[in-house]
Chains A and B, each alone.
Chain A
Amino acid sequence: MAALFHVRGVEVVDTFAEAFPMTACALVVTAETIEWARIAGTAATGYAASVIGCDAEAGIDAELSPGQSPDGRPGVRILFFAFNRDSLEKAVVNRVAQCVLTCATTAVYGGLEITEKAIRVGGNLRYFGDGWQISKVIGDCRYWRIPTMDGEFLVVDKAGTTKGVAGGNLIILAETQAAALNGAMAAAKAARAVSGVILPFPGGVVRSGSKVGSKYKALKASTNEAFCPTLRGVVPGEIPDGVNAAYEIVIDGLIIEMVSTAMRAGLHAACRIPGVKRITAGNFGGKLGPHHFFLRDLLGDPEG
Chain B
Amino acid sequence: MALSLTRRDSSPIPVEVFGLTPDKLVGRNANEISRIKVLHGNREEMVGDHFLATGTLDADPVVYFTGDCSAVKGIGAGMAGGFVVANGPVGMHAGARMSGGRLVLTDASDWLGAEMTGGSIQVRGNAGNQAGAAYRGSRKGMRGGRIQIDGTAGDELGLLMRRGRISVGGAVGEFCGASMIAGTILVAGGVGPRCGAGMKRGTIVAFGKEPDLPPGFRYACEYTPAFARILDRDGEASDWGKDLTVSSVRLFRGDLTTGGRGEIWHVPSSG
Contact = CB atoms under 8 A, between A and B. Distances in A.
Contact of A73 (B182, B201, B226, B232): B226
B269 to A, nearest CB: 17
B229 interface: yes
A135 interface: yes
A70 B227 contact: no
A138 B235 CA distance: 10
Interface of A: 30, 70-73, 105, 107, 132, 134-139, 143, 145, 151-152, 154
A136 B226 contact: no
16 contacts: A70-B230, A73-B226, A73-B229, A105-B226, A107-B226, A132-B261, A134-B261, A135-B182, A136-B227, A138-B230, A138-B231, A138-B234, A143-B227, A145-B225, A151-B223, A154-B225
B245 A72 contact: yes
B203 interface: yes
A60 to B, nearest CB: 20
Provide the main secondary structure of the chain A interface.
strand
Between B203, B225, B245, the greatest number of chain A beta carbons within 10 A of the residue's beta carbon is seen for B225
Interface of B: 163, 182, 184, 201, 203, 221, 223-227, 229-234, 245, 261, 263
Given A136-B184, A136-B203, A137-B163, A71 B263 contact: no
Query: Which 6 pairs between the two chains have the least Cβ-Cβ distance?
Result: A71-B229, A107-B226, A154-B226, A151-B223, A72-B229, A138-B234
A151 B184 contact: no
Nearest to B201: A134
Nearest to B253: A132
Contacts of A152: 223, 225-227
A154 B230 contact: yes
Given A132-B261, A137-B163, A71 B226 contact: yes
Contact of A143 (B223, B230, B233): B230
A136 B234 CA distance: 12
Nearest to B234: A138
A152 B220 CA distance: 13
Contacts of B182: 135
Nearest to B223: A151
Given A70-B233, A71-B226, A136-B227, 18 more contacts: A30-B226, A71-B229, A71-B230, A72-B232, A72-B233, A73-B226, A73-B229, A105-B226, A107-B226, A132-B261, A136-B230, A138-B231, A143-B230, A145-B227, A151-B221, A151-B223, A151-B224, A152-B227
Contacts of A134: 201, 203, 261, 263
Nearest to B232: A72
Contacts of B201: 134
Nearest to B182: A135
Contacts of A132: 261
Contacts of B261: 132, 134
A152 B221 CA distance: 12
Contacts of B233: 70-72
